[in-house]
Amino acid sequence: MSKESEYLVPGHPTVRYIPEFITSSEEEYLLKKIQETPHPKWKQLGNRRLQLLGGELTAKNNLLPKPMPPYMTVFPDLISRLKNTGAFEDSPHGAPNHVILNEYCPNQGIMPHQDGPAYHPVVATISLASHAVFHYYQYKDASDGTEGRRVNPTPLLSVVLEPRSLVITSDSLYQDCLHGIESIAVDSFATGPHGVVCVETGTPIANAHLLRSPEISKVVQEGGVLERTTRYSLTCRDISKVKKLPF
C-alpha cells in the first residue's frame, strides 16, 4: 500500500503519508487501552511521557524483547497492518519489533533529533487524537568552518499529521535529516505567495493535498489555526539486533 505513488509527499520519495490508516472506532479503542495502562509503565521525561512497547534497548543497541500489548499484535493488530504496507519489506524482521508510545499535551513537542543507528532506517508513526505539524531538518553545511553539526532552523520539509494517519519516513530523510515537533499549543497557517505555510517555521505544508479531515484541510489550504489537544503517537521501528533470552 505504501508503495503507491498517491501517498508520496511530492519531491520527497522517502515520505509517505497515509490518511485514515485506522478507523475512528479503532482509534477510540486504542485510546481507551492506552489510558488504562498502569501508571508505572509510563516513563516521565522532562516535557512529556512515553511507553516502550516490545522491550528496551541496551547500551549496545540490542533489543531486550518483551511482549507487545495485545492492541499491537491481536486487535487491531497494528503490526500486521504495518507489515502489509510493504514499508518493512527489507527490514531485518520484516515488521516493526519496537514501538515508542509518546504522549504530547498542548505545548509539548520533541526537539529536532535523529533516531540513531539501532534501527533499520524506516520509521512508521501512527497519530491518535490530535494533529501535529511534523518538521524535517537538515544539518548546516559545516564547510563554513563552524565546530559541530548545527541544524538549519528552517525545515527542509513540513507535513501535517492528522489523527488516525500513518507517516512513513525512510532512506536519506531518516539517515541524514532530523525531525521534530514545536512545543506550542496552537498551529497557525497563513497564505503567502507560494501557497499556505506553517507560520511558526515559514515552510509550506508538503502533504496539504493528501489531508482527509475537512476541518484540517480547510485550515491548511486557506489559512487559520488548529488548536492542539493531547496527542498520542505510536512510532514503530525494527531494531536489527535482538538479544536472545535464556528461556
Ligand X SMILES: O=C(O)CCC(=O)C(=O)O
Q: Applying CB under 6 A, which residues contact ligand X?
A: 100, 102, 110, 115, 125, 179, 233, 235
Which of Fe ion, ligand X, none does residue 233 bind (CB under 5 to 8 Å by kind)?
A: ligand X
Grid cell digits, residue 43: 516513563
Smallest gap from Cβ 102 to ligand X, in A, equals 4
Smallest gap from Cβ 228 to ligand X, in A, equals 12
**Closer residue to Fe ion, CB minimum distance, 69 or 112:** 112
Smallest gap from Cβ 20 to Fe ion, in A, equals 23
Grid cell digits, residue 221: 489550504
Instruction: Please give the residue whose beta carbon sits closest to Fe ion in the complex.
Output: 115
Binding footprint of Fe ion on the chain (CB under 5 A): 115
Which of ligand X, Fe ion, none does residue 91 bind (CB under 5 to 8 Å by kind)?
A: none
Smallest gap from Cβ 62 to ligand X, in A, equals 18
Q: What angle do CA 112, 136, 11 make, to 5 degrees?
A: 170
Contact present, 240 and 100 (Cβ < 8 Å):
no
Contact present, 157 and 15 (Cβ < 8 Å):
yes
| Residue type (1 letter), 226 | L
Q: Which residues contact 18 (CB under 8 A, 6 or more apart)?
A: 1, 2, 7, 85, 165, 166, 167, 168
**Closer residue to ligand X, CB minimum distance, 102 or 203:** 102
